[in-house]
Chain A
Amino acid sequence: MATKISPPSSRFSGTPSQPDATDSEQASPRKNPLLVDKAAPRVTAVEMGARQREISVSEFFTKNRHLLGFDNPRKALLTCVKEAVDNSLDACEEAGILPDVTVKLETVANGQTPMSPSQATRFRITVTDNGPGIVRQQVPRIFAKLLYGSKFHRMRMSRGQQGIGISAAGMYGQLTTGKPVKVISRTGPRATAHYFEVQIDTKKNEPLVHEDKQIEWTQPQGTEVAIEVEGRYQKGRTSVDEWLEQTSIANPHVRLVYHTPEGETKEYPRTHHELPPSPKEIKPHPYGIEFGVLLKMLQDTKSHTVSSFMASDFCRVSPALAEEICKAAKVSPDARPRAVKPHLAETLYQTIQTTKIMAPPTNCISPIGEKAILSGLYKQIKGEFYTAVSRPPAVYRGNPFVIEAGLAFGKGPEESTRPQQAAMPLAEGEDHGHETELARVIRYANRVPLLFQQSACSTFKAVLNTTWRNYGMAQSRGALPAGPMVIFVHMASVWVPFTSESKEAIADYDEIQKEITLALREAGRRLGIFLRRKERAAGEFRRRNIFALYIEEVVEACNRLKGGTLPTEHLKEQLHKIASSRTGGLKTDEALGKTGVGPEGLPHSIIVTTEGIEGEAEVAQTPTAPVVSRQVAHTERHAETTAPVKPVRAPKIRPASGEAKPPSASKAKVVQQDLFVGNVSPGRKAALPKARRTRTTGIRKGK
């Protein structure tokens, strides 16, 4: 792809929310002079004008694909998988279906003989889900038109935000291999499956349909996307494998099957058999908008007066409050919104910022929940101690958000006891090497793992700024804590502030930073309690053992000193007697017993010992036949209940203008809310997690 003259990208990364065509048009004259200066010394305005023309979004992103996460072949492969899986999960969750997603990576022979996965440069990515499917007319636009989707215009928590992802992946495939995106979709068992081959017309940002036919498909419902792209498959920290594994940690309600290019099949089973509560859509909060946005809203509103505009287009503004704001801003409450002069609008804006307005409702976000985080961490990470913290909702720039943190500590009971069994004496200068390893941070935004730009991320900074030494961990200045630990941080919000379009790092807002820090501290405190208990138990154990061990040595040394004439057994017995009288026999036994290390006082935590598991663990079930059949039954039930109300993946395909709201879709959503978030009073901060806590019923094992 030609990237000789790339337009300055700062414009776009600065205002990621408005990359529409008109914006680029205005920007274009400014991009060209550099080129013009070089080419010809004198050019008239007319000539220049002749060269100035519209740039389509697709063209822009063709040249600037790094903005979307297609910087290099390895990352591109991951981005494609990520976009497809995100879409599948969003669709399934919105439709109330427990997601069952299959990801398949295959190498594609590029002319010559097929190459090994690590050598191959071309891959076919196939992602299949059991979601609601997509109505026939919308398939081309969803997969082959940039900035087309259902999520951008809503204030609602979802993985995708702006409708670029999957079509950008398709476009990348088209650019690098020339192959169209292949889509199979079926909206229900009684509907027929459709097969499409679509490409994007980059000039017009419009889909080109190559193939559109009905086919037989084994799946009763769902969508399958296949994209052929140039990529590189490599394992490691930023690999597809890692991303899928982290996804399964934060989404224990998802069953994920992954066919690696090497022909292996990995299955991440479902351990949490309950969908996360469906988040509710909210209107923007007055604190969260910029002045320009307010102007636009004044123009676009359907209300006839300023006060009704304020009350109906924003959340948390009551008619009374709207009147009050108008009065304070000296704007007539009955004025037509379109007639408000810019300088009056500005005073209105200022007034809004200074007026006390209730924080936005928080039922628009659905945190993962402590239980689900625990179950996710427990199934994927081996450890001795797990804990999870969900913070009450908070607000930045008028956007509500929830921070969740989790910890998995230790090497697992088998590992930690291994050196004792081996009984390998250490040579001088040797150590077990446990402490040299640094903790790992896994970051999530709306349940999607973030693998890149760790150090730019607010979560990572919060981890560094936490004093882990207070919780019994080693930590050098400005570094991650040292030890076998995985730190999990999740931010759920209607609008996660990413530092760039490719969604790699969370921006550093003070409010966010503070919440993350508080969550980490709570998790850290629990870890500290666990470590201290463990230490105490180990200390008692040592205290007791130490004398038993050393008595042997001391007696032998005495015996040799005395020339081997000592009644050694007698002396040992005497010393043992003193030892047990000094270590307080029974009391130590109690301290060593399980009562001392149990998870009392440690909410939402799991402790794993060689004897078993203590605490609230939803143990991963081996995917045996009955489990599978139950899952199928579950999805079918969902399919049946939702089918009559909502036969299509409607919200996803709402036109970009946002005018027509498919009534069936919102109805379906309301049903969902009643089921899950219904009676949560939105203003009370702690209400949400509490409600979740009482509701969750997991499979408990332990004691």
Chain B
Amino acid sequence: MAQVKPKKNGAVEKKLIGMADVVISAAQRAKDPTFAIPIRALSNVSFNPRKGLIEMGEKKQARSFFNVGMAKKFMQTMLVADALSELQRADLTTSLREIYYRTKHTIQDSHENTFDTQDESDPIIEDLEVSLVALREELHVRAENSGSIVGPVVFGDDGDRVDCARLGKGGYSVPSIVEPEYLEIRRCTADFLLLVEKGTQWNRLSEDKFWRRYNCVLLTGNGQPPRGVRRLARRLHEEYRLPVYVLVDNDPWGYYIYSVVKQGSINLAFESQRMAIPKAKFIGLSSADPEAYELPRNVGIKLNDKDITRAKELLNYRWFQKPAWQEEIKRMLANGLKFELDALANKDFQYLTKKYLPRKLKEKDWLD
């Protein structure tokens, strides 16, 4: 799985080694070794309306070794730091899960594992990302390849030329690290980029060659888009000035996916500035669409308690305060229904490609 990286950067490695120095110097002064780790929670993010981004605040939490509640986490942090520096030295990239296996072992003279599940190691990697101010890619950690792209765009990947217009209906699988050093965008002639929530609908559009007729790039992240997909969208938006439209289900989770693409996520607020696309537009499915496109009520799904709670949370987020958005979410709550993109097939299998999107684009019917 490891791929060779054509670049040398000692900065991250130095930061990792610096962690060992914290321990050593604290030990010399008979002090408790402590790291300060920025808090990744709603309480420590703020919305910057000028930039249209979610930004991380200044709050930090201390992680010290000689504290019963934190000792294990401290130890785990050191183990992950060690594993990451090993990656730096060997110049390899790896997955979150491999890091977990690499650092998992039984502590000497006990039956205790350093890590019991991957749920313990993943947050530590994120902790290190924020506290060392290093991107995950810089730490040489990949996420899953779970995104596809198709359209008039040409990439250079490991020296191979990848023309996304000649990859049939399957498209190109978006790698998790899409920084210029890893993925080069050689050419892009598209007019806009359509980010689709669901793989099924992306398949529909790809199969119908929607991208050819409307000269666009089709991108999907299969649900909540992973970093690679978000970063690639951002690069196409930034480097080739492609307007970005987001097509999601009409439910609170769809709205949130759109908001993550647009403003960034709460958990990874520190990466907003290189991931978020503040100019992204919400093209559908809007809670007004069922009426406008005459979708029968019986293809809707009743909002459950979780949906309603989530929708009410969204109403309170600072980045959903625009009147149009308040109206959009409240309308969904008033209808008491959510609609999947797939429900459009009720009209016709190709309704999305042939009627819905063309009309949306023609009427410029989207939300900002």
Contact = CB atoms under 8 A, between A and B. Distances in A.
Interface in A64-113: none
**Listed residue (A423, A554, A578, A581) with the most chain B CB atoms within 10 angstroms of its CB:** A554
Most-contacted residue by chain A among B74, B107, B111, B118 (CB, 10 A): B111
B167 interface: no
Contacts of B116: 426, 428
B78 A554 contact: yes
B117 A428 contact: yes
A422 B24 CA distance: 35
Contact of A550 (B65, B85, B86): B65
Given A554-B65, A575-B27, A577-B30, A562 B114 contact: no
Contacts of A574: 27-28, 30
Contacts of A420: 111
A559 B66 CA distance: 19
A566 B24 contact: yes
Contact of A557 (B66, B82, B118): B82
A51 B71 CA distance: 88
Contacts of A428: 116-118
A356 interface: no
A561 B17 contact: yes
Interface in A551-579: 552-554, 557-562, 566, 571, 574-575, 577-579
A543 B110 CA distance: 14
Nearest to B66: A582
A547 interface: yes
A549 interface: yes
A553 B30 contact: no
B298 interface: no
A425 interface: yes
Interface string A397-426: 000000000000000000000011011111
Interface residues of B, number: 36
A579 B28 contact: no
Contacts of B85: 560-561
Contacts of B65: 547, 550, 554, 575
B20 A558 contact: yes
A629 B79 CA distance: 68
Interface residues of A, number: 34
Query: Quick one: which of B65, B108, B114 has the most chain A CB within 10 A?
Result: B65
Interface string A246-270: 0000000000000000000000000
Interface string A537-548: 000001101110
Interface string B307-343: 0000000000000000000000000000000000000
B75 interface: yes
A557 B124 CA distance: 15
B291 interface: no
B17 A562 contact: yes
Contacts of A579: 66
Contacts of A542: 68
A549 B71 CA distance: 10
A578 B111 contact: no
A558 B111 contact: no
B112 A549 contact: yes
A426 B113 contact: yes
Contacts of A562: 17, 20, 24
Contacts of A571: 23-24, 27
Specify which of A547, A557, A578 lies most central, judged by the most chain B CB atoms within 10 Å of its CB. Answer: A557
A550 B19 contact: no
Interface string A375-396: 0000000000000000000000
Given A425-B111, A557-B81, A582-B32, A547 B66 contact: yes
A312 to B, nearest CB: 70
B71 A553 contact: no
A424 B111 CA distance: 6
A428 B97 CA distance: 13
B106 interface: yes
Nearest to A559: B20
Contact of A423 (B30, B71, B110): B110
Contacts, number: 96
B72 interface: yes
Contact of B71 (A426, A546, A581): A546
Interface in B179-198: none
Given A550-B74, A553-B78, A579-B66, A558 B109 contact: no
Contacts of A566: 20, 24
A463 to B, nearest CB: 34
A559 B68 CA distance: 23
B108 A549 contact: yes
B247 interface: no
Contacts of A550: 65, 71-72, 74-75, 107
Interface string B236-277: 000000000000000000000000000000000000000000
A426 B104 CA distance: 11
Nearest to B103: A557
Interface string B36-71: 000000000000000000000000000001101001
Nearest to B110: A549
Contacts of A425: 106, 111-113
A561 B71 contact: no
A558 B78 contact: yes
Interface in B71-103: 71-72, 74-75, 78-79, 81-82, 85-86
B111 A552 contact: no
A569 to B, nearest CB: 12
A562 B82 CA distance: 9
A419 B111 contact: yes
A575 B65 CA distance: 10
B233 interface: no
B195 to A, nearest CB: 34
B16 interface: yes
Interface string A515-551: 0000000000000000000000000001101110110
Contacts of B114: 553
B27 A553 contact: no
A549 B107 contact: yes
Contacts of A557: 20, 75, 78-79, 81-82
A562 B118 CA distance: 26
B110 A561 contact: no
B116 to A, nearest CB: 7
A578 B25 CA distance: 13
Interface in B104-152: 106-114, 116-118
A176 to B, nearest CB: 56
B32 A578 contact: yes
Contact of B16 (A424, A552, A554, A561): A561
13 contacts: A419-B111, A423-B111, A542-B68, A546-B68, A549-B112, A554-B23, A557-B20, A558-B78, A561-B81, A561-B82, A561-B85, A571-B27, A579-B66
Given A549-B112, A571-B24, 8 more contacts: A419-B111, A425-B112, A428-B116, A428-B118, A546-B68, A550-B75, A559-B20, A571-B23
Nearest 8 pairs of A and B residues by beta carbon: A561-B20, A425-B106, A557-B78, A574-B27, A558-B20, A550-B75, A557-B82, A423-B111
